[in-house]
Structure 1
Amino acid sequence: MAECIYDLDGPDDLPESLKLVEFLCAEPEKPPPKVQGPLEIIDLGTEEDPRPIQISGLLETNDWAKIIYRLQEFKDYFAWHYTEMLGLDSTLVEHRMPINEGYKLVNQAPQRMSKEIEEKVKEEIERLVKAGFIRPAKYVEWLANIVPVLKAITKAV
């Protein structure tokens, strides 16, 4: 099993973002909380540029109207596309793979995927590179296969 390596003096020196990750990972067996009621999908965008959100279907009509009004008012504060997320703190979102000396690196055999999936993966990688979210890996001696997870298509109400 892999282990985390930090170049720090002690646990008190961890950045706040890492303390949060440590806290959230403390109980990995604990199931996530279940949604208590139905969710309603609301589109804050246009037909050409949809911006769907989900809010509780159990809210009273007056509360619903207030929430939708506020979400419409501040919809520019939310990001629906990678390119809208400029300036993310790299200490929060950057992943590194420090490896102890002496560990044997393992290459996985390439896995084939259908042409349709392969095209979607290439498009997604191009979008992420263009947005500046990813770059070529520093760890080129070994690789892990991409595991695409297709999302269910949802329609806005």
Structure 2
Amino acid sequence: MKRIATALLLLAAAGIATSSLAHDTKKKAGKSVAQPLVSFPAADLKWRELAGTGGIKVADVRGSITGKGPYDAFVIFPAGKDNPYHLHTQNLPTVVLKGTFYAVIDGKRIDYPAGSFYNLPANMPHYSGCAKGEDCLLFQYQADHFDLVQVEKK
């Protein structure tokens, strides 16, 4: 049952990636030209650890989460990993595929267990992280590069 749920969540994330990639359709002489298939079976994902993050790993599927421009990426947060108080300068849509990710906004903690989706608005200060017990696997995408701007505590 757990494998089926994981497979369904991965398919949902792939659908989101496909949906976001659909915006990349090119126009040529007034007609839309479909882009080639983008396919990343789990075994083909290329994981890398982000330096200075305490073990956060990413696997880019479009663009680069650490580069310029749009990206789609899988992200692994180690269980118990907390982020400092921060914000992002653009909306950050996230699908939680495994574990329980959380955000603390205006002093209220919201847990996002596997199967959850949230779209964090730009410039909203918050804490976030992965609850203890199980690493968190996320799928995130943005129209431009990822950023994390630390904010002084209230």
TM-score bracket for this pair, using the shorter chain length: under 0.3
TM-score of the superposition, structure 2-length normalised?
Answer: 0.23
- Whichever structure has more helix as a proportion of its residues is 1
TM-score of the superposition, structure 1-length normalised?
Answer: 0.23
Bigger Rg, structure 1 or 2: 1
